[in-house]
C-alpha cells in the first residue's frame, strides 16, 4: 500500500487557500498511486508559532491580533468545514489524515482546538481527535481536548489512530491506541530533530506498528510579509522555521522512509500493513506481553463540553 506524507507548507493562516492547496496535494498523491496521505499538525491553516515567539505579558496585544486571524481561519466541522477534503477523499478513494485548527461552532463559537481528522476513502470523517493537553504557550491558543477521539478506526487501508505532537510522550495515551489493534500510528507534530525521531522509533518498537511522523516544512520566506508583526516574528528572512523531518518507521523499529530534512515535497513509501500484527509475535504490549492481572487502564471517552452557568 502506497503512502504519501506531506512536507509542503500551507498558505499561512489563509484557510481557503490552504484548503485548495491540500486538495491539490491529495490529487497529486493519488496520481502517483497513494492510498493514504498524511498532513502535519495544524496544517490547516498553519501552526501558530507566534505563541512561542511572543511573550504572554508585554506582547499580549500582538498575540490577541494574531489569535483573531487564526480564529477566523479555523475549520468549523458543524458547518461542513472539511467538505472539500472529504470530497477529495471520495473522488480519489484516498484515506486522509490531517491536522487542523478546529473552532467549536456548536458550543462556544470561539474556542479553538488542535485537532486531527481521519477521513476514510468514502469521504466520511471516521474520527476527530482534539489534543488533550496543549504544550506550554499553546495554552494561550487552544482549549483542552478529551478522550472521545482516542480511537483506532478501521479504514480502507487498515486500522489507524493518531496522537498529536507531545501527546506521544504520554504513555497512557499511547497505550490507549495500542490496545485497539493499531496498524498505522500517525504522529502529526510541530516537533523535529533527533530526540523526536528517537521517540517515533521507540513507538514503532513499543507498539509493533507502522509509525508516520510529519511536521510542516516551513521557511520564513513562506510566510506572507502582510502577516501582522511579521518583522518581529521572523526577522531572519533565510530562517527554516521548521525543517519538517517527515519519516516512516517500520513495525518493531527501523526506518522505512525519511527523515526528509529541510526539503519540500511528498515523502513516499510502499508498506505492508499486515507486517504490524506479525511483528507483535515478539512483543505485544497490549496482548501476550501485557499483565492485565497487574495493570489496568480506563479511558473516559465521553465528549466534554465547557461548563455553562445560567
Q: Of 41, 102, 167, 219, which one is the catalytic site residue?
A: 41
Buried b (16+ CB within 10 A) or exposed e, 67-100: bebbeebbbebeeebbeebbebbeebebbbbbbb
From the list 135, 132, 138, the residue with the least C-alpha distance to 177 is: 132
Is 165 among the catalytic positions?
A: yes
The 10 Å Cβ neighbour count of residue 267 is: 23
From the list 250, 249, 242, the residue with the least C-alpha distance to 193 is: 242
Q: Are 159 and 180 in contact (CB under 8 A)?
A: yes
> All 3 cell numbers of residue 199?
521517540
Query: For 238, phi and psi rounded to 5 degrees?
Result: -100, 5
Q: Of 165, 167, 209, 256, which one is the catalytic site residue?
A: 165
Q: What is the largest CA-CA distance in the chain?
A: 59
Q: Of 8, 51, 131, 256, which one is the catalytic site residue?
A: 131
Buried b (16+ CB within 10 A) or exposed e, 136-148: ebbebbbbebbbb
Q: Which residues are catalytic?
A: 41, 131, 165
Amino acid at each position: 500500500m502506497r503512502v504519501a506524507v506531506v512536507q509542503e507548507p500551507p498558505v499561512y493562516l489563509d484557510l481557503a487557500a490552504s484548503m485548495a492547496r491540500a486538495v491539490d496535494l491529495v490529487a497529486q498523491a493519488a496520481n502517483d498511486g497513494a492510498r493514504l496521505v498524511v498532513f502535519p499538525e495544524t496544517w490547516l491553516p498553519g501552526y501558530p508559532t507566534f505563541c512561542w515567539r511572543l511573550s504572554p505579558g508585554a506582547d499580549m496585544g500582538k498575540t490577541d491580533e494574531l489569535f483573531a486571524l487564526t480564529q477566523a481561519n479555523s475549520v468549523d466541522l458543524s458547518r461542513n468545514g472539511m467538505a472539500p477534503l472529504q470530497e477529495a477523499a471520495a473522488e480519489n478513494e484516498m484515506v486522509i489524515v490531517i491536522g487542523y485548527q478546529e473552532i467549536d461552532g456548536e458550543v462556544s463559537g470561539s474556542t479553538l482546538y488542535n485537532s486531527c481528522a481521519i477521513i476514510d476513502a468514502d469521504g466520511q470523517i471516521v474520527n476527530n481527535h482534539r489534543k488533550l493537553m496543549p504544550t506550554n504557550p499553546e495554552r494561550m491558543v487552544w482549549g483542552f481536548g478529551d478522550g472521545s477521539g482516542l480511537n483506532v478506526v478501521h479504514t480502507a487501508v487498515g486500522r489507524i489512530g493518531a496522537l498529536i505532537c507531545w501527546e506521544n510522550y504520554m504513555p497512557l495515551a499511547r497505550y490507549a491506541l495500542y490496545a485497539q489493534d493499531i496498524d498505522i500510528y500517525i504522529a502529526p507534530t510541530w516537533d523535529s530533530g533527533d530526540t523526536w525521531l528517537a521517540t517515533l522509533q521507540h513507538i514503532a518498537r513499543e507498539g509493533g506498528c507502522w509509525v508516520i511522523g510529519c511536521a510542516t516544512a516551513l521557511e520564513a520566506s513562506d510566510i506572507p510579509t502582510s502577516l501582522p508583526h511579521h518583522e518581529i516574528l521572523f526577522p531572519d528572512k533565510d530562517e527554516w522555521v521548521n525543517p519538517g523531518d517527515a519519516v516512516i518507521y517500520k513495525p518493531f523499529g527501523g526506518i522505512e522512509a525519511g527523515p526528509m530534512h529541510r526539503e519540500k515535497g511528498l515523502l513516499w513509501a510502499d508498506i505492508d500493513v499486515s507486517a504490524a500484527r506479525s511483528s507483535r509475535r515478539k512483543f505485544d504490549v497490549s496482548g501476550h506481553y501485557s499483565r492485565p492481572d497487574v495493570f489496568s487502564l480506563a479511558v473516559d471517552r465521553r465528549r466534554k463540553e465547557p461548563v455553562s452557568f445560567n
